[in-house]
Structure 1
Amino acid sequence: MTNETKLLITGATGFTGIHACRHFQQAGYEVIGVSRKPFTIKGSQIQIEPCDLTNRNEIMDLIKKHNPDRVLHLAGQNHVPSSWTNPIASLEVNTMSTAYLLEAIRHEIPECRVVVVGSTLQFDINDITTLEHPYSLSKTLQTLVARSWQLLYEMDIVIANPSNLIGPGKSNGVCSILAKKVAEMELLGSEKVLKINNLLAQRDFLDVRDAVSGYEIIFNKSQSGSMHNITSGLPRYLKEITSSLQAISSVEFTVESIEDKLEEKEIMHSSNLIVENMSSFIPFDKSMEDILNYQRKSLA
């Protein structure tokens, strides 16, 4: 990728956004990060542009100012419990901001390639009983908006649906939450007990760095209008998180589960495009080690 390719990344200061900014800058892109508030990414010279993506006028001004060649749309409300508390905010941030962004691109730079990052937690629109929470609704509608703009206006839009992302950095995910508690045991002398709701619940965990690599593949090799899952393809019980942390922690601790209710998830595989173009994935134990080291540094 030449330095002349300008990539605008929304949600640039979030968990995935920081990894994406660094990855694409190293790959030779001219990266412009977008965040609601001014922010500096440590160790980089990436320009961060403040913009409220729920404000259509600010988005229009942003697109006019930078005229990017590509847009990676990461910004959104990604916390399921928060969607229950404020469902309208989830719809505004996840769905309407996507519509505002795509409409600005349609008017100013319709040839721009856009990757909209959705979620594997979307529900089946043909079966309303598969809807489990407002977050799922907002991300499903986001994808419908993106695919509709691609079809109706012949825009160059592609959808990426990652599974549960883990890795070093500030995250509200279960792996980071548990790793932080272990780091507090090591460094702050906290109680040597790790409490978890259900050790037998399952999740597909994917390292955020692999997800970002997948986004680059999608930018370079996918067809407009296509949709691609990016997953590990290996659902893990939450017990595997605690076991991994016990293996790498410098202190011994016990694990208490509120309930042990088997909760198996359907296996979701990555799309063929991802499988054929990604040579390897970061091992789960390596991700957990990096997460714990990040939490240790944050407390030091």
Structure 2
Amino acid sequence: MKIIVTGGAGFIGSAVVRQAVREGLEVVNLDALTYAACLDNVASVSNAPNYSFVKCDITDRAAVDAVFDEHAPDAVMHLAAESHVDRSIDGPGAFIETNVMGTYNLLEAARASWAAQGKPEGFRFHHISTDEVFGSLGETGQFTEDTPYDPRSPYSASKAASDHLVRAWHETYGLPVVLTNCSNNYGPFHFPEKLVPVVILNALHGRPIPIYGKGENVRDWLYVEDHADALLTVLRRGELGRSYNIGGENEARNIDLVQMICALLDRMQPRESGSYADLITYVTDRPGHDARYAIDPTRISTELGWRPSVTLEQGLEKTVRWYLDNEAWWRPLLERDGVGNRLGTKA
């Protein structure tokens, strides 16, 4: 099987690329190499005979068409997206261009390629989305695949729009699609503007560890390599036109997550005095900060037999160890635009 993976130099996309290449799939990594991308993420497979890279911006329709014409894929895994909520607050236009118009370009290019190949039954367009399209939960309940959409940020609204486009292309044109909505990811190669790497790297530098509001916002945490395994499972065995919620079955308040990371650092690389938790600092909350996300993974578990392989404690220990061992990867990224600065305050 030959698959085009969009955003394959990003955090989740690179995990998919690494696993797919290891499993023997022919992978074409399509990435624009924007600020959050890093080809070092796929260095471990870059010389494999079943891997190739194409620099391409999905907002450039002609360039996207050219890639599909050249490679005639059997499947597409669409992960390319602007994904940082704080950046979407400050500059929503880029999120509309990439997440909405970029998805449109890919759908049209995939539809043309599928038709040119004689509309093979095995073709798949797998659209990877987020649980943030469902909005915010109260203290109880979970998101299911039937939860009404209720996006609250420019980022989640743009992803909700892209989900609707994918479903429309399936219903209107018959394009063979599957969709997935995931919970918060964490793990190796996570770009250092998201919560988990921010906590780790600020702690190691002795800087304040910022916690929005009171730290009581709850997320379901999914180890990125588990997510990659789930995505490839859905690609191969998911029912056409169907969506699958992917969660880590690991809910935690932000403040509890941060304290877990600090405790791991205290054990793995102790400070000269005190605990890393002493660096925790509460800051003004993000505008429109969703209170709680929680995934009901029953469908993917019962229909496809997939479950996460690690607990939050196990995954965080792997993640902290990886950052301690891979300073050569993360240090150059600290110089990229916006990293280390508080974003999302323009509202």
Tell me: CA distance 1:165–1:133, structure 2 relative to 1, closer, same or farther (3 Å): same
Larger displacement relative to structure 2 (23-32 or 286-295): 286-295
SS for the counterpart of 1:122 is helix
Measured after TM superposition, the shift of residue 248 of structure 1 is 1.6
Q: Normalized against structure 2, the TM-score is what? A: 0.76
1:179 maps to what in 2? 200
Pairs within 5 Å for 1:224-235: 224-235=240-251
The answer to whether the Cα contact below 8 Å between 2:110 and 2:125 also exists between their aligned partners in 1 is: no
SS for the counterpart of 1:42 is helix
SS for the counterpart of 1:109 is helix
The answer to whether the Cα contact below 8 Å between 1:180 and 1:292 also exists between their aligned partners in 2 is: no
Tell me: CA distance 1:85–1:264, structure 2 relative to 1, closer, same or farther (3 Å): closer
Measured after TM superposition, the shift of residue 233 of structure 1 is 3.4
Measured after TM superposition, the shift of residue 113 of structure 1 is 0.6
1:18 maps to what in 2? 14
The answer to whether structure 1 residue 141 and structure 2 residue 137 are counterparts is no
Q: Normalized against structure 1, the TM-score is what? A: 0.87
Measured after TM superposition, the shift of residue 221 of structure 1 is 1.4
1:166 maps to what in 2? 186
From 75, 92, 99, the equivalent of 1:70 is 75
1:42 maps to what in 2? 43
2:103 maps to what in 1? 98
SS for the counterpart of 1:291 is helix
The answer to whether the Cα contact below 8 Å between 1:235 and 1:265 also exists between their aligned partners in 2 is: no
The answer to whether the Cα contact below 8 Å between 1:84 and 1:133 also exists between their aligned partners in 2 is: yes
Structure 1 gaps of 5+ residues are 185-189
Q: Distance in 2 between matches of 1:161 and 1:139?
A: 10
2:309 maps to what in 1? 281
The CA RMSD over aligned residues, in Å, is: 2.4
Measured after TM superposition, the shift of residue 152 of structure 1 is 0.6
The answer to whether structure 1 residue 31 and structure 2 residue 27 are counterparts is yes
Structure with more contact order per residue of length (Cα contacts < 8 Å, sep ≥ 6):
2
1:237 maps to what in 2? 253
1:211 maps to what in 2? 227
Q: Distance in 2 between matches of 1:150 and 1:52?
A: 24
1:114 maps to what in 2? 125
Q: Distance in 2 between matches of 1:164 and 1:280?
A: 13
Q: How many residues of Structure 1 are paired with residues of Structure 2 in the alignment?
A: 287
Larger displacement relative to structure 2 (235-244 or 112-121): 235-244
Q: Distance in 1 between matches of 2:59 and 2:301?
A: 31
Tell me: CA distance 1:224–1:127, structure 2 relative to 1, closer, same or farther (3 Å): closer
Larger displacement relative to structure 2 (276-285 or 12-21): 276-285
Paired-residue identity, %: 22
Q: Distance in 2 between matches of 1:258 and 1:88?
A: 26
Q: Which amino acid aligns with 1:102?
A: L
Q: Distance in 2 between matches of 1:274 and 1:64?
A: 36
